[in-house]
Amino acid sequence: MTPPIDTRHVRHAFGRAAPDYLRHAALQREVEDRLLERLDYYTATPRRVLDLGCGPGRAAALLRRRYAGAEVIALDLAVPMLRQVRTGWRRPLLRVCADARALPLPEASVDVLFSNLCIQWLDDLPALFAEFRRVLRPGGYVAFSTFGPDTLRELRAAWAAVDRTPHVVGFADIAGVGDALLAAGFRDPVLDTEHFTVHHADAIELMRELKAIGATNADAARARGLTGRSRFRRMLDAYERFRRDGLLPATYEVIAAHAFGPEPGQPRRGRGGEIASFPLERLRGSRR
């Protein structure tokens, strides 16, 4: 279970980072390229494609190129990010500002739902995947990536040596993500995890990079005041024990997943067991 996330903080942080996001988001681009490769598993021709948490729209543009006949929607929580999206004029992208937990889309209206390193900023995976299921057409395809609990483990350990206040957001593990997908009724989910290590000259450089991409501490239980100089200095000193070959590592655990939308009536797992729902027309003539 992940801690509560401050959604207003997330919106503000990514909005502030929007103008220079792509310049600093090398890891995000690498993960995005790998996630795009998973689209090879979807062989149908989509009519509508959703890039959820689109940021400045890099993936949305690539999705438009890949699916030339589809409507591509670039959706993000932060308006300044959407302003960075190049919509084009021949086949313009549709930009939508919305919360992923309440998508302004009809039921069964999306063929491909793509989301790169976004859903870690949402603290209720069952509710999120229920919304994914609602908008995805039967047999539609969802592909997403998210950060796992090993992400920034060095920074987390350095702060833990100073105080017990959360300074790094906790993320769901691969088992939790997989369970939530299955509980929502998605078919044939495939998940894997990979660790990336980014090196920095010092911990201050790391934190500047995190701020530049909007990835700041959004834990709702975080301390709101300024960090004292002495505590900050102690954190920097604690991080130094990870230094190797003159550089400090920052680990990122990336969970990537894809699955297919369930057919109508496929059950979901609820607290009291499986819950199935059927269109009314499928029940006609079945009464005895």
Give the per-residue pLDDT at 279. Answer: 43
Mean pLDDT by 10 residues, the chain (288 residues): 86 97 97 98 97 98 96 98 89 93 97 98 95 98 98 97 91 97 96 98 96 91 75 96 97 98 75 43 35
Lookup result for tokens 């009519």: 47
Give the per-residue pLDDT at 225. Answer: 63
Task: State in Å, rounded, how far the first CA of the chain is from the last one.
Answer: 45
Q: 135: which residues sit within 8 A by CB, 6+ positions away?
A: 50, 103, 105, 106, 107, 108, 109, 110, 113
Q: 175: which residues sit within 8 A by CB, 6+ positions away?
A: none
**Strand ranges across the sheet with 248-260:** 94-97, 71-76, 48-52, 110-115, 136-147, 248-260, 187-200
∠ CA 31-11-144, rounded to 5°: 30
Distances (CA, A) of 159 to 90, 121, 235: 50, 21, 5
Cβ atoms of 259 and 132 within 8 Å: the answer is no
**Longest CA–CA separation in the chain, Å:** 77
Give the per-residue pLDDT at 227. Answer: 72
Give the per-residue pLDDT at 224. Answer: 65
Q: State the burial class of residue 1 (Cβ atoms within 10 Å of its Cβ: 0-12, 13-18, 19+).
A: exposed
Distances (CA, A) of 13 to 80, 216, 233, 250, 285: 10, 7, 24, 20, 55
72: its two tokens: 């591509």
Give the per-residue pLDDT at 183. Answer: 96
Tally the residues of the chain.
288
Give the per-residue pLDDT at 228. Answer: 77
* Distance separating alpha carbons of residues 224 and 77, to the nearest angstrom: 22
Give the per-residue pLDDT at 287. Answer: 31
Is the dihedral angle over the CA atoms 129, 3, 222, 230 positive or is it negative? negative
* Distance separating alpha carbons of residues 58 and 66, to the nearest angstrom: 13
Is the dihedral angle over the CA atoms 103, 51, 194, 9 positive or is it negative? negative
Neighbours of 156 (CB within 10 A): 17
Give the per-residue pLDDT at 282. Answer: 38
* Distance separating alpha carbons of residues 14 and 22, to the nearest angstrom: 12
The DSSP result for 48-82, as a single string, is EEEEET-TTSHHHHHHHHHSTTSEEEEEES-HHHH
Give the per-residue pLDDT at 146. Answer: 98
Rounded to 10°, the helix 229-239/153-160 angle is: 130
Segment 207-238, tens digit of pLDDT: 999 999 999 988 888 776 667 789 999 999 99
Cβ atoms of 203 and 154 within 8 Å: the answer is no
CATH homologous superfamily of 7-152+169-196+252-264 = Vaccinia Virus protein VP39 (3.40.50.150)
Provide the residue ranges of all domains of the chain, joining segments of one domain with +: 7-152+169-196+252-264
